[in-house]
Amino acid sequence: MKRYQCVLITGASSGIGTEIARRLAPHAEAIVLVGRRTERLAALATELSTHYGSEVVPLTCDLSQEGNAEKLWEMVIQKMGKAPDLLVNNAGMGLYGETSDTPLHKEKSMVTLNVASLMILSKLALKVMSARRQGVIMNVASIGSFHPGPYMSVYYATKAFVLSYTEAIAEEAHHYGVRVIALCPGSTQTDFHATAGAQRKSNFCKFSQSTQAFVAETAVLSILNGYPDIVIPGWKNKVLIFIERFIPRFVVAFLSGKVLKVE
Ligand SMILES: NC(=O)c1ccc[n+]([C@@H]2O[C@H](COP(=O)([O-])OP(=O)(O)OC[C@H]3O[C@@H](n4cnc5c(N)ncnc54)[C@H](OP(=O)(O)O)[C@@H]3O)[C@@H](O)[C@H]2O)c1
């Protein structure tokens, strides 16, 4: 008997999302894969249904557009005939640059995608899961959730929201037997940095960089094992987050700016 009846993964067309889908497929009766790149989703759906015999449904949806998160939720219930019992809110984007120069329209899309859509899908899932008294939500935050990010100011702020919101609803949800997890990866080898407009990575990012497979493996182990609820893949990232608790925030912001400003 597979553990999850219906898994919904946003941002499944590449990177961490694709690898999470591959690792969850053996444990799911049905999976819904969401992203904008239809062909990639369709190829992954064929791969997963062939290997694991799960029902895999690709759904194209732009979650940076207001109103689409609600539409997606309705579409999932309509297509699958049930609401998800595992939601992985993974879709996200970043943007590098001086805040005075970066295009506002991209930052507005980022806030809708990284914050509003994640919040709406979590809330809709929580409503159903708390009534059923079971279910799991994983929200993809970042180690950037723990500190400010000069030259990626809006992105880091969106991830601070994700961690704070996730910890808050986790506390509410555990009274109903629902688990809410924050996945906080450090720098990971995916398309993320190129899409965000990074010219090249800093030496520090290269030093602590993980593979997407390692991050996904750590995430899925947490889902299946039932702990921990704040998942920081990699010992270097864990040490970094521990140490920065003892450093004044303005110093952390200064150091973070040094790492992120790649010249
Ligand atoms: N890579 C890192 O260093 C790192 C570190 C910490 C946290 N994270 C977080 O990890 C998550 C996954 O990122 P990744 O590293 O795997 O990067 P990625 O390979 O660029 O994946 C991003 C995923 O989000 C989807 N997405 C982007 N814009 C979307 C939109 N408007 N509507 C729907 N889906 C959208 C993309 O699909 P489409 O393009 O097909 O829409 C893609 O599947 C993100 O939340 C990111 O913030 C990444």
Per the domain annotation, does 2 fall within a domain?
Answer: no
Mean pLDDT, rounded, for 160-181: 98
Assess whether the C-beta atom of 43 lies below 6 angstroms from ligand 1: no
Residues pairing with 10 in the sheet: 34
Average pLDDT, the chain: 96
Assess whether the C-beta atom of 156 lies below 6 angstroms from ligand 1: no
- Distance (Å) from CA 248 to ligand 1 centroid: 31
Q: What pLDDT, on the 0 to 100 scale, is given for residue 199?
A: 72
What is the extent of the structural domain holding 129? 7-260
**For the CA of 63, the nearest atom of ligand 1:** 32
Per the domain annotation, does 103 fall within a domain?
Answer: yes
Q: How many CB atoms lie within 10 A of CB 173?
A: 21
3-state secondary structure of 239: helix
Assess whether the C-beta atom of 62 lies below 6 angstroms from ligand 1: yes
Per the domain annotation, does 11 fall within a domain?
Answer: yes
Per the domain annotation, does 185 fall within a domain?
Answer: yes
Per the domain annotation, does 127 fall within a domain?
Answer: yes
Res 129 pLDDT > 90: yes
Q: What pLDDT, on the 0 to 100 scale, is given for residue 231?
A: 98
Q: What pLDDT, on the 0 to 100 scale, is given for residue 167?
A: 98
Assess whether the C-beta atom of 149 lies below 6 angstroms from ligand 1: no
Instruction: Give percent of the chain above pLDDT 70.
Output: 95
The residue annotated as part of the active site, out of 4, 96, 151, 155, is: 155
Per the domain annotation, does 1 fall within a domain?
Answer: no
Question: What angle, rounded to 10 degrees, do the helices at 212-225 and 15-24 form?
Answer: 40
Per the domain annotation, does 203 fall within a domain?
Answer: yes
CA-to-CA distance for 159 and 139, rounded, in angstroms?
Answer: 10
Question: What domain count does the chain have?
Answer: 1
Is 151 labeled as catalytic in the residue annotation? no
Q: What pLDDT, on the 0 to 100 scale, is given for residue 224?
A: 96
Q: What is the CATH number of the domain that holds 68?
A: 3.40.50.720
Largest Cα–Cα separation, the chain: 54
Q: What pLDDT, on the 0 to 100 scale, is given for residue 233?
A: 98
Tens-digit pLDDT profile for residues 3-49:
999 999 999 999 999 999 999 999 999 999 999 999 999 999 999 99
Q: Strand order of the sheet with strand 7-10?
A: 55-60, 30-35, 7-10, 86-89, 136-140, 179-183, 230-231
Mean pLDDT, rounded, for 81-97: 98
Q: What pLDDT, on the 0 to 100 scale, is given for residue 248?
A: 97
3-state secondary structure of 191: coil
Q: Which of 9, 13, 232 to mutate to test the pocket of ligand 1 (most atoms within 8 A of CB)?
A: 13
Res 198 pLDDT > 90: no
3-state secondary structure of 62: coil
Mean pLDDT, rounded, for 113-127: 98
Per the domain annotation, does 30 fall within a domain?
Answer: yes
Mean pLDDT, rounded, for 195-207: 75
Res 57 pLDDT > 70: yes
Q: What pLDDT, on the 0 to 100 scale, is given for residue 1?
A: 62
- Rounded to two decimals, the pTM is 0.97
Res 263 pLDDT > 70: no
- Distance (Å) from CA 90 to ligand 1 centroid: 7
Helices (H), the chain: 15-24, 38-52, 68-80, 104-110, 118-132, 153-173, 192-195, 203-207, 212-225, 235-244, 249-260
Q: How many residues does the chain have?
A: 263
